[in-house]
């Protein structure tokens, strides 16, 4: 079964509407909570008008700092909702209105006359902000700075130097399913929460810490999740508020965030400013890389995106320095968004590499191949596998790169200027300890339980294929249950580590069940933590590349993309159908990042200018005609039980640089600030022509 293109096992449930999402479970006696959001960026709440709200027919309660329970330590300060009257950013939670219908809850919440003692705010990010500092670590637990050799001395003697700054804007994840939680108190005193998240066990652990509960007192279920992109990787305030209201009122409560509230309360990708300095010999061989990334965080929680990490593993050089800087502003806390760090970092690094190829008058593909390292540059560790060169060569062949004239601004089709670009991609190949169980049922079927999450990736299907293969039975005889905190610790669906972690434990459990004879009723449990820790020290990464053709309207500056070719070496590909879907979606998201996505900040109000999908533009069919996904065969037995590398994020890394490099090739003008909007194209032309 593994290696076959299998349709999603839950496909029929989803297209017929039988699949239940967190905000859809029918529950008797359900009431609805609606968040009251702050309308100032900094200050404190003076008055909420609670009595007037409670007098409204249908309102059953208002939670606010005056009556909310005191929360314990859940490991995340952004979850400490309603603990005081402070406002840390625009859209911060100041109260929760609970009513018998969502319409009443929303109307009352939006009409509450909240008075504030407003204070001056600072929401403007810049690389030279006076409060910029170097944090102790960067996400998730990486060292902030690395240094091999004297980079300034190496750059001073390098014959070719590229010294540029690249910027990326704030972006929002915007999954189709909003963040929703339904908290249901049980007759036995146990609280069950249906929640839209990327890891039910992690949410359960956070909530038990916040509400000082025993593990058995709380269960989190997330069987179906309508997208996340990192926004649902950790608990968000909606689940805390639902649990808080259910415990206080003693009845089921559902809290669903609006699209607008998601912009404040569920995280976003931080804006970045990155200075890249490359030093090389005339033949393009690197002698120095310096990558310094600046970003923003909130006053509540320090979150520093690991933007410069990509430069620590990509290219061979004797001298390498990376560092991160961050500034605390009166803004919501940035969090994970697909390929945090590598996506914005790849734009800067791979754009600079292209500029180096131009300076050295070398083909960009050849320059990358010349700088292929034999070991990971910073750590010195050997690679478990590294197929970047194979990806570049296969991508160049399929794209027809050899026929490209390297000179910019020459190809034209009517009013359209044509160009092509390339960029390399990488993402860590991670795995973490996970528990799974396998049961032999009386009817000859098998049930596998693991705390995985399927956020649209096809994880449930892939795990079913792996379990069936390990048990030696047809796919139809295996049922995989996921998204239940009762199944025990499990890697969340994030960091491209989901399938590589869950499958390890599933294989262990199924092998043990088969070894013990699989007698009806027998259940065996496995925990892969020991095996994960026993792996030898190696540099484990997935690699790939993107080739992009663009057409730029000479009159309007509009950019369209006739074709994209993405090539990935992701270890063993279990299901080519769902794997292609993952890379296709990531490439499309990268295209959106390159051309459209941004969340500008209004400095006067301290609020994001746009809050919905009407103003937050993403790529559509008209923007790209053909997208080709290619997998390079790769056998890596140093990863996990299945030789699997995560592929959920590598498909977005490098796309922005490939597009930017193609736009330069089409127009002769470099764009170092994302997104590459039509106005920026026209401004760039005007500046280049004097």
Which residues partner with 392 through β-bridges? Answer: none
Cβ neighbors of 316 (< 8 A, separation 6 or more) are: 286, 371, 372, 373, 374, 377
**Could you say which DSSP state residue 239 is in?**
H
Which position among 223, 355, 634, 649 bears the catalytic label?
Answer: 649
Q: Rounded distance, CA 681 to CA 171, Å?
A: 20
Q: Where are the strands (E) in 58-131, listed by range?
A: 59-63, 86-87, 93-99, 115-118
Structure tokens at 242: 């639902």
Are 536 and 357 in contact by the 8 Å Cβ rule? The answer is no
- Rounded Cα gap, residues 625 and 63, in angstroms: 50
CB 341 within 8 A of CB 305: yes
Listed residue (595, 555, 557, 573) closest to 650, CA to CA:
573
Q: In this structure, what are the phi and psi dihedrals at residue 358, rounded to the nearest 5 degrees?
A: -65, -45
Query: Which residue is associated with the tokens 């027809």?
Result: 400
649 is catalytic: yes
DSSP 106: H
Instruction: Kindly report the number of other CB atoms within 10 A of residue 502's CB atom.
Output: 32
Residue 659 exposed, middle or buried by CB count within 10 Å (0-12, 13-18, 19+): buried
Give the total residue count for the chain: 690
- Cα 192–Cα 193–Cα 195 angle in degrees, nearest 5: 160
Which residue carries 């038990």 as its tokens? 208
Q: How far is CA 564 from CA 103, 275, 319, 348, 554, in A?
A: 45, 28, 34, 20, 21
Interatomic CA distance for residues 370 and 366, integer angstroms: 6
**Which residues are annotated as catalytic?**
649
């Amino acid at each position: 079964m593994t290696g076959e293109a299998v349709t999603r096992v839950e496909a029929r449930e989803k297209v017929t509407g039988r699949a239940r999402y967190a905000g859809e479970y029918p529950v008797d006696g359900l009431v609805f909570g609606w968040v009251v959001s702050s309308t100032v960026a900094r200050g404190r709440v003076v008055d909420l008008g609670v009595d007037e709200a409670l007098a409204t027919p249908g309102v059953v309660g208002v939670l606010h700092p005056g009556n909310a329970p005191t929360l314990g330590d859940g490991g995340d300060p952004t979850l400490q909702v309603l603990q005081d009257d402070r406002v840390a950013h625009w859209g911060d939670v100041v109260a929760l209105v609970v009513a018998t219908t969502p319409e009443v809850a929303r109307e009352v919440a939006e009409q509450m006359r909240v008075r504030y003692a407003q204070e001056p705010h600072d929401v403007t990010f810049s690389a030279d902000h006076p409060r910029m500092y170097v944090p102790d670590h960067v996400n998730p637990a990486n060292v902030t700075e690395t240094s091999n050799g004297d980079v300034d001395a190496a750059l001073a003697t390098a014959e070719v130097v590229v010294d540029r700054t690249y910027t990326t804007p704030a972006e929002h994840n915007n999954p189709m399913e909003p963040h929703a939680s339904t908290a249901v108190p049980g007759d036995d005193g146990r609280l069950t929460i249906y929640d839209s998240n990327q890891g039910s066990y992690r949410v359960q652990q956070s909530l038990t810490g916040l509400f000082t509960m025993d593990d058995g007192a709380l269960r989190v279920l997330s069987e179906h999740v309508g997208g996340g992109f990192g926004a649902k990787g950790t608990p968000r305030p909606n689940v805390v508020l639902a649990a808080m209201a259910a415990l206080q009122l003693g009845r089921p409560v559902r809290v669903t965030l609006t699209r607008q509230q998601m912009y404040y309360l569920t995280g976003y990708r931080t804006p970045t400013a990155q200075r890249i300095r490359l030093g090389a010999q005339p033949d393009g061989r690197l002698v120095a890389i310096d990558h310094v990334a600046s970003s923003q965080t909130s006053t509540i929680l320090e979150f520093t995106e690991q933007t410069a990490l990509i430069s620590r593993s990509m290219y061979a050089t004797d001298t390498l320095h990376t560092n991160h800087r961050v500034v605390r502003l009166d803004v919501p806390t940035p969090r994970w968004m697909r390929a945090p760090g590598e996506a914005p970092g790849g734009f800067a690094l791979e754009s600079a590499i292209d500029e180096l190829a131009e300076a050295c008058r070398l083909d960009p593909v050849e320059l990358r191949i010349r700088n292929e390292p034999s070991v990971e540059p910073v750590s010195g560790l050997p690679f478990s596998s590294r197929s970047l060169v194979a990806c570049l060569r296969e991508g160049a062949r399929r794209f027809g790169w050899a026929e490209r004239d390297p000179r910019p601004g020459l190809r034209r089709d009517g009013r359209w200027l044509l160009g092509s670009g390339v960029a390399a991609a990488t993402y860590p190949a991670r795995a973490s300890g996970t528990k799974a169980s396998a049961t032999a049922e009386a009817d000859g079927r098998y049930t596998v339980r693991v705390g995985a999450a399927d956020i649209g990736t096809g994880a449930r299907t892939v795990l079913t294929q792996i379990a069936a293969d390990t048990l030696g039975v047809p796919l139809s005889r295996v049922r995989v249950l996921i998204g239940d905190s009762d199944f025990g610790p499990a890697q969340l669906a994030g960091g491209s580590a989901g399938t590589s972690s869950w499958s390890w434990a599933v294989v262990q459990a199924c092998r043990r069940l088969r070894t013990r004879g699989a007698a009806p009723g027998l259940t065996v449990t496995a925990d892969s933590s020991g095996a994960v820790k026993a792996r030898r020290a190696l540099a484990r990464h997935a690699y790939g590349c993107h080739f992009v053709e663009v057409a730029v309207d000479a009159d309007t500056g509009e950019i369209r993309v006739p074709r994209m070719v993405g090539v990935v070496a992701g270890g063993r590909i279990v299901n080519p159908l769902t794997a292609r879907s993952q890379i296709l979606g990531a490439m499309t998201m990268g295209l959106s990042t390159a051309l459209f996505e941004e969340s500008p900040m209004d400095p006067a109000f301290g609020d994001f200018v746009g809050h919905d999908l009407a103003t937050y533009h993403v790529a559509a069919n008209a923007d790209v005609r053909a997208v080709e996904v290619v997998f390079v065969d790769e056998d890596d037995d140093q990863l996990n039980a299945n030789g699997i590398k995560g592929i959920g994020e590598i498909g977005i890394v490098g796309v922005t640089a490939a597009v930017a490099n193609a736009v330069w090739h089409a127009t002769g003008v470099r764009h170092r600030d994302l997104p590459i909007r039509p106005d920026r194209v026209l401004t760039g032309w005007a500046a280049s022509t004097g």
